[in-house]
Amino acid sequence: MPVPLLALLLLALALGQRLVSPEEVARSQVIKKALPAVVRIQGTPLSAGEGNVVGTGFFVSPLRLVTNYHVVQDLTDLTVRLYDGRTFPAERFAVDPGIDLALLTVKGVQAPGVLAFSKASTANLPLGMGVVVVGFPYGQGPLASYGILSGVGPLEVPTPDPSIGAEVGEYLFTDAPLTVGNSGSPLLNLQGEVIGVVADVVGGPSGVGGIGVAIPAELAAQSVEDLERFGIPQRGWLGASLISLEELPPVLLRAVGLTTLQGAMVDRVEPGSPAARAGLRGASRDAQGRLVALGDVILAVNGTPVKDKVDVVRRIARYRPGDRVRLTLWREGRRLEATLTFMARPRR
């Protein structure tokens, strides 16, 4: 419920003359509320010779906290440090590499504060809205930074591991200063709700002058619910490896009558997967593994043309078990359609 302007101004006077606007008061209150819920995450790398790795996380329930998968994927002996300096052991509860999220359990303490995900749709977030980030840049902190929501859209720059976060269709972008150690920080609106989970910083040395990248809250909240209930995410999955058309030899594309580089070829199909049940066909390879015949080429998902394999994965990930989608395929020189029915992901 919005706080009346008069109440904000009175609060500003109570807090001191340095807070001179309602926005400053709101920002200060958001930071004050977030501090007890935000933790520093630290662990020992599995690879010898590397120093300790630090990141950020935040409590979403009394014993569970959220961070990035890439923060904890190669760490052992996980610990979290609270805002008051106390340190406690933690362990992975479940992970979701597809959107770069991990859910941790903290031992020996209940959360001194909990943050809630915003229920607002990403599409309804106004560009230019004020945002706050609270985290541990370089392990220091907790420290807060402030900026605006700069944009919403796909991440189109290369990442160290393209398989991590491959199922995020649209990210939130912010100009709030972020750097190493901020991964896993909450991106908050001025009502104190989490609208995103910081995942990366692109551009600039060590993020200086860069743009912050965050996983939208609606996607993160859905993942947390899935991990709590099932231990694995329940977004749509194809069950097939893909190759973008632009990666394939042009002679093979011409041989089947394809004149476009927009799309993705099905390379291998997992038995029992949604792709297998829909009758999708994989590629043929010789004894040395060389491609000799193309598999089905996915041209569109529910009538929307796809650009490449990443685009296919992102579009498929929007669906849930039981949903059905129509794939437009190119097979042996002709266009056809197949219906894909999604099912729960298997435990690995």
What amino acid positions are annotated as catalytic residues? 70, 100, 183
165, 99 contact by CB (below 8 A): yes
Measured CA to CA, the distance from residue 60 to residue 49 in angstroms comes to 33
Q: Where are the alpha helices (DSSP H) in the chain?
A: 5-15, 22-34, 69-72, 217-230, 250-255, 274-277, 309-316
Burial of 228 (0-12, 13-18, 19+ CB in 10 A): middle
Residue where the block lists tokens 């973008």: 244
DSSP single-letter state for residue 177:
-
Measured CA to CA, the distance from residue 133 to residue 197 in angstroms comes to 9
Measured CA to CA, the distance from residue 248 to residue 260 in angstroms comes to 12
> Taking the CB of residue 195, how many other CB atoms lie within 10 A of it?
24
Alpha carbon distances (Å) from 148 to 126, 127, 137, 152, 187: 10, 8, 19, 12, 10
112, 92 contact by CB (below 8 A): no
Pairing label, strands 264-269, 240-244: antiparallel
12, 22 contact by CB (below 8 A): yes
Measured CA to CA, the distance from residue 135 to residue 137 in angstroms comes to 6
